[in-house]
Amino acid sequence: MQQISESELVLMKIIWGNGGTALYSFIMEKLEKERNDWKKNTVLTLLSRLVEKGYLRTNKIGRRNEYEALVTEQEYQAMQTNSFLDRIFGGNVRGLVSTLLQEDRLSPEELKEIEKFWEEQNE
């Protein structure tokens, strides 16, 4: 799938946060609450791009548009993680973990949690 922009990701997070579907009016309300001052046409353009890229589907409910996520947040995170890992670390997970440790982005507690998770997955 095509990459999505940061602006498109903002809209996807609103939709994912609402259970995977959201009316256009709900999206606009949420953006206003987040103090985002995008114009209506900007939001409609971003939503249209997400539909074209295959991330959303538009469902007509009377005269209103409901946007439905075709990709879950977890699926998106997995795609982005794999893409990042391949592009930056050549697919080498050890390189990623090493960098996280060297940059103090991974605490000893988190490392223990990862080890425990790994052991549970391999049982």
> pLDDT tens digits, the chain, 123 residues: what are they?
899 999 999 999 999 999 999 999 999 999 999 999 999 999 999 999 999 999 999 999 999 999 999 999 999 999 999 999 999 999 999 999 889 889 999 888 998 999 999 999 988
CB atoms within 10 A of CB 62: 6
pTM for the whole structure: 0.85
**Domain locations in the chain?**
6-69, 73-121
Q: Domain 6-69 belongs to what topology? A: Arc Repressor Mutant, subunit A (1.10.10)
